[in-house]
Structure 1
């Protein structure tokens, strides 16, 4: 009887394993990449927000907020996590010496 009970759970275990490798794991990987991208934002990067606005990072205010310049003289405060994509990364300034 014990063997029959275990045999009934094997398909459920296989379904969970397939769901993990096809859905959960790639989503966690994508989330980690997004967090790294957002953490690496700095002044001068051209970004796209989740609302579809394209602008340039004018100022990194704190851990959760940045200022994005949409056009000359028009800046908006944006929550970092709403940045969907970085179009152009600025290169770090080289140390003089």
Structure 2
């Protein structure tokens, strides 16, 4: 009987671990993937390095950003953190 109780406890702990840690992380990854796949020319974004820019072109694995001085920089899509907050 003790073996079953230990097994049940192990399953419950794994379930809690999955629902508290793994599942939310997967959801966040999917949301980010959907975001980078929806990028289009003209979107104002920020990179994980803190650079702001406007999307100039989008490739399969990369995004070209136009920065404030008019220069263009090429980034991997995964390095785009999010949309630039609206300026007030």
The verdict on a shared fold, with TM-score over 0.5 as the criterion, is: yes
- Which position in structure 1 is the counterpart of 2:32? 34
Q: Which residues of 2 match residues 43-62 of structure 1 at below 5 A? A: 43-60=41-58, 62=59
- 1:59, CA displacement in angstroms? 1.2
Normalising by the residue count of structure 1, what TM-score does the alignment of the two structures yield? 0.82
Unaligned runs of 5+ in 2: none
- Is 1:11 matched with 2:9? yes
Q: Supply the RMSD in Å over aligned alpha carbons.
A: 1.2
- 1:11, CA displacement in angstroms? 1.5
Count of residue pairs brought into register by the alignment: 85
C-alpha distance in 2, partners of 1:8/1:79?
A: 46
Larger Rg: 1
Unaligned runs of 5+ in 1: 89-97
- 1:29, CA displacement in angstroms? 0.4
SS of 2:84's equivalent?
A: strand
Normalising by the residue count of structure 2, what TM-score does the alignment of the two structures yield? 0.90
- 1:73, CA displacement in angstroms? 2.0
